[in-house]
Each structure stands twice: as C-alpha cells, then as structure tokens.
Structure 1
Amino acid sequence: MELRQLEYFVAVAEEANFTRAAERVRISQSGVSAQVRQLERELGCELFDRSSRVARLTSAGRAALGPARAALEAAAGLGHAVDEVGGLLRGELSIGMVIGCTITPLFVGLEKFHRRHPGVALSLHEDNSDRMVDDLHAGKLDIALIGAYGSAPAGLDSMTIVSEALCVLVPPGHEWAARKSVRVADLDGSAVICMPQGTGIRATLDDACAGARVSPVIALQATSADAIADLASRGLGAAVLSESMSADFAERLVALPLDGVPEPALLLLVWSSSSNPALRVLISCLTDAFGV
C-alpha cells in the first residue's frame, strides 16, 4: 500500500468522479484508476460503486476514507515536523478570496509570507463565500477570506476582519436621497441592485427582508461593488452594499444606513484546523497585515 494510492482514493471520494480526481492530482485518469484498483486488490474489496457516472463509495470505501485521510495527514505532518526543526517551510497553500472584494491587507500579508518563505507555493482563487466554505471542508482550500452573515461558518476556525452594517446607495436625485436612513420595509417592491446569493452581504440582506416579510425586486446583480454602484448611479435601482464599501462612492451616490437589519455583515478569515506549520505562519502574517 502506497501513500499515492491513498491520495488518489481520497481524491476520487471527494470529487465523486475519476476524471476530476485525475485533474486534481495532475495525472491521467487511467493512472488514477489503476492505482485505486491496486489498492482495492490489496485490501480485498471494492471501494467504489462504478455502476454509474458518479463514483460512489461502497460501505468498505466509507470505512476506509477516514483512516486514509489520517494517514495522509500524518505523512504530511512528518515532513512538516522535519522542516520546522530545520527552520524551513515548503509545500503549497491554497488561498480563497471572495469575488469582487479587493482587500489590500490580504495581498500585504501574502507578500510578507512569500518574502520570508519563498519555498511555499501560493495559489489564489476567487469564488463566492458558500462554495469556498465547502472547499475548506473538502480540503481544497487551506484558508479563505469570505463574507458571512451573523456568525462564522460551523466547523471552521475564524478571525473577524470586519463587522458592519449595510447601506443603501442612491443617486442625488432619488426620492430617498434627502433622508437620514432607509428602513428594510422601504425596500418592499423597490428595485434593488446587490450582490448574488452565496455572498455575505446578500445573505444579510435576504435574512433581514425575510424577517420583515419584505420582497424587494432584485433588478440587477453583480459581484463587483464598483459595478453595483455604477448601475445605481444610472438610476437602475437602489444599491445595497456594506458600510465600508459605500464610502468609496460618496462623490456620486448618497449612502444611507439600512435600518432594521438584525445581524451585521461579516468579513472573515476562515480555515480548517491544521497541523501545517506553513498555514500557521501565514495566519500570523495575515493577522499582522489586517491589524487584528
């Protein structure tokens, strides 16, 4: 039994597909299939039901998945322990960043880490927050900057970067422009421009509207705060963004606090508990960069 066989087995189990698993471990599909078959022969049982296009774990496969993951983590921990003794960090870290959110301190932290530990390869991926949480649980990401509503996702360690209210942004000639604030109830039937589902700001807005039994008309959606503000400035609807985002558009839009939102919108760093020393050092660099 070889570690690569366990790696390929875990990849197929998590991807539920031999082709996607092969892409993930960067070898041919036939190579993955052959190694998994060899593992099955050594164990004396089939690990996957191959009767459909989805690679489903058999009962034996489900029993083997936990120990296989533990064996891979132990092997990685051995290498990390040796590296720590020698003062050397190497390997790979996969970082997630919520779409449409350019956060300079994140890049500052990555730069600081890279300068100190050039032997660790960094990869950066943009996605919506919900999918990144799933990827963290699946081990596809090591750490991610996400938007959330009310509290951090269950089962992950986290650090709060920003906790803030929502604002409604309208052009100066809008009927709400002279107000001091907008209530959630005012959004009922109104054209709203906001971020898509899967983002923390949208989850915060949706929950507030559901609690108030309000149904805004989601006229347009965009992942970029700049795009949302631009659409609002053209009179296509009222934009909903976080308080800090809204400040960037004060010259062309009137930002009004949105009253009646029970929980704040959060920007979080989240990660799965890990013995990886490189991840621990990266978290320290990001903590310094964000000043938290």
Structure 2
Amino acid sequence: MDLKQLDYFTAIVDEGSISAAAKKLHISQPPLSTQMKSLERELGAVLFERGLRSITLTDAGKLMYQRAKTILDMASVTKTEIDSLGRGLSGTLRLGMVSSAATAHIIGQFAEFRKLYPEVNFQIYEGNTYQMLDGLKTNQMDLALVRSPFPESGFVCHKYQEEHIVAAGIAGTLPQNAGIEEISGQPLILYRRWETLVRQIFESRNLRTTIVAVVDNAWSSLQMAKAGIGIAMLPESFVTDVSGMEMWRIEDERLRTRLTLVKRDDRYISNIAKIFFEKFEL
C-alpha cells in the first residue's frame, strides 16, 4: 500500500466511478483498475462493488476511505511543515471547533495570531465535542476547542473560565428576573448533548417542559430562538452581545460548562500548534 494507491482510491470514491477518476487523474482506466485490484489483494478485502456506471463502497471500503483521507491529509501537512523548516513559522494549523466556540472574541484571537504569524493558515473542522476528540485521536487535526464535560484521559487540556448554560430568547419574552418556573413554561430548544441533563433538572423540581426542538449545532439553536420559535439553552459567552436577545440563568451547578483547548499527550505536534496552544487565551 502506498500514497499513490490511496490517492487513486479516494479519487474513485469522490468521482463515483473508475472511468471518471481516470479522466480526473489523466491516466487510462486499465492501470487504475489494476492498482485497485492490487490494493484489495493486499488488504484481503473488496473495497467496492463495480457497476456499469458507478461504484458502491463495501463496509471495508467505507472504513478505508476514511483512513485514506486522514493519511493523505497527514502526508500533505507533513510535507508542508518540512518545506517550511528554516523559513520561520508558516504552514497550516488544523483546528477542531465546537459550534458554540465561534464567538467574535475567539475569532478575534485567530486574527491576532495571524497578525503575529501571517504565513500561518487555518484548516477548521467543526462538529460536536466527541467528534473533535475523535479527530485528535485519528490525527486528523492538531488541536481542538471543545466543551466540558468530556473524558480528559490521553489529552493535555488548557482550560478556560467556567460559564453558565443560560436560557436565551427574544428580548421581552420573559420577565426581567425570570426563574426556572417561568422558563419551564416556555417552548424550549435544546442542544442535544445537554438534553438529558436539562430534562432531569426540570423533572427533579416537578416542572413541566415543552421541547419544540433538539439540535446538534449551537448556531441552529440561536437562529431558532431569534426567530421566536422558543427559548434556547446555550453557553453564556455564545449569546453575549447578540442583538435583540436576552439571557436568563437557571441556578443549578450542573448547568455549567467551559471551553477547553486540547491536544493529544502522546504525539508530536507542529511548532505552529505548540505556539497556538501556549498563546491562545480567553
């Protein structure tokens, strides 16, 4: 197995057929088919079923595609880093981020970093905390901005100030000093990760909840709340300074979270990632 075979395989998957991949790669179809058969023999598995006009990935093929993408990405980043040695800090920082980390303040930190190191570029991956941690484990990214709580074993964590998860809605939706009783009577928009916790908190106080949406993305929660669909449960820093919105705290110690910048504790990271990890502040 070599990088050329992996590049050929991902091209076939991306293009949907061997013939289309051959055109993109500027090679004839027979040698491309030969390379794939050789790869399958080495792996001892069929990677895709060949149809008249398209291919269908097997389970082994789906796994191979994910791994091939990661390996090719790592090879590209490694070459860039080696090429940049001796030319100052330059290259690409591969950073994972949860959606609720994309605040004006944090994006401003990226801008400040680029002012100091204008030859550094960002490759941003977005998803939930567990997807970002998986990305670190598979070397798809160098660092990740995630939210607590999460299993910290195997990671080095740069923790930032703890904050409340708040109820956020259109200004005037609730009384100024609204408490959990008033919030429980409103249609709620819940971030999926905290759905069970929020339900438990309201149920422990014998309060009824009306949940109108459960979402995976903080931006989706915020936009639905801004549209008047309901009250969203979000990290306080994510809602701060959003025009036309108000926040109400639910006094419960379980409704707290903190952003954490993490890296793996068992692998080399680039100088770019090391410096960003040390300099990034909230």
Range into which the TM-score falls when normalised by the shorter chain = 0.5 to 0.7
Distance 1:182 1:285 in 2: 40
1:244-263 alignment, distance < 5 Å:
244-248=237-241, 253=246, 255-262=247-254
Q: 1:227 aligns with which of 212, 223, 227?
A: 223
Q: Give 1:128 deviation, angstroms.
A: 4.5
Q: Percent identity?
A: 16
Distance 2:261 2:131 in 1: 15
Q: 1:56 aligns with which of 59, 82, 97?
A: 59
Any stretches of 5+ residues in structure 1 without a counterpart? Answer: 13-17, 198-202
Q: What secondary structure does 2:268 align onto?
A: coil
- CA 216–43 in structure 1, closer or farther in 2 if over 3 Å, else same: closer
Q: Which residue of 1 aligns with 2:145?
A: 145
Q: What secondary structure does 2:144 align onto?
A: strand
Amino acid aligned to 2:276: C
Distance 1:116 1:173 in 2: 44
Q: What secondary structure does 1:95 align onto?
A: strand
* Correspondence 1:41 to 2:31: no
RMSD across aligned C-alpha pairs, in angstroms? 4.8
Is 2:189–2:230's contact at 8 Å kept on the other side of the alignment?
A: no
Distance 1:153 1:43 in 2: 37
* Correspondence 1:161 to 2:160: yes
Is 2:225–2:232's contact at 8 Å kept on the other side of the alignment?
A: yes
Q: Give 1:192 deviation, angstroms.
A: 3.4
- CA 248–41 in structure 1, closer or farther in 2 if over 3 Å, else same: closer
Q: What secondary structure does 1:259 align onto?
A: coil
* Correspondence 1:290 to 2:281: yes
Amino acid aligned to 1:209: R
Amino acid aligned to 1:281: I
Q: What secondary structure does 1:290 align onto?
A: coil
Q: Give 1:87 deviation, angstroms.
A: 4.6
Q: Give 1:93 deviation, angstroms.
A: 3.3
- CA 120–177 in structure 1, closer or farther in 2 if over 3 Å, else same: closer
Q: Give 1:195 deviation, angstroms.
A: 5.1
Deviations 1:86-112 (A, max 9, x none): 254554333343336533443344334
Distance 1:282 1:244 in 2: 24
Deviations 1:172-216 (A, max 9, x none): 473x5445x426xx765x33343543xxxxx23532423664762
With structure 1 as the length reference, what TM-score do the two structures score? 0.60
- CA 121–4 in structure 1, closer or farther in 2 if over 3 Å, else same: farther
Is 2:188–2:230's contact at 8 Å kept on the other side of the alignment?
A: yes
Is 2:191–2:234's contact at 8 Å kept on the other side of the alignment?
A: no
Q: What secondary structure does 1:209 align onto?
A: helix
Q: 2:197 aligns with which of 207, 230, 255?
A: 207
Equivalent pairs, count: 258
Distance 2:76 2:101 in 1: 36
Q: Which residue of 1 aligns with 2:235?
A: 242
Distance 2:263 2:33 in 1: 29
Is 1:94–1:125's contact at 8 Å kept on the other side of the alignment?
A: yes
Q: Give 1:265 deviation, angstroms.
A: 2.0
Amino acid aligned to 2:180: V
Distance 1:224 1:88 in 2: 40
Is 2:155–2:263's contact at 8 Å kept on the other side of the alignment?
A: yes
Is 1:194–1:239's contact at 8 Å kept on the other side of the alignment?
A: yes
Amino acid aligned to 1:230: K
Q: Give 1:290 deviation, angstroms.
A: 1.5
Distance 1:125 1:42 in 2: 29
Q: Which residue of 2 aligns with 1:106?
A: 106
- CA 223–229 in structure 1, closer or farther in 2 if over 3 Å, else same: same
Distance 2:155 2:132 in 1: 12
- CA 37–144 in structure 1, closer or farther in 2 if over 3 Å, else same: farther
Q: Give 1:217 deviation, angstroms.
A: 1.9
* Correspondence 1:182 to 2:180: yes
Q: Give 1:127 deviation, angstroms.
A: 4.2
Distance 1:42 1:242 in 2: 47
With structure 2 as the length reference, what TM-score do the two structures score? 0.62
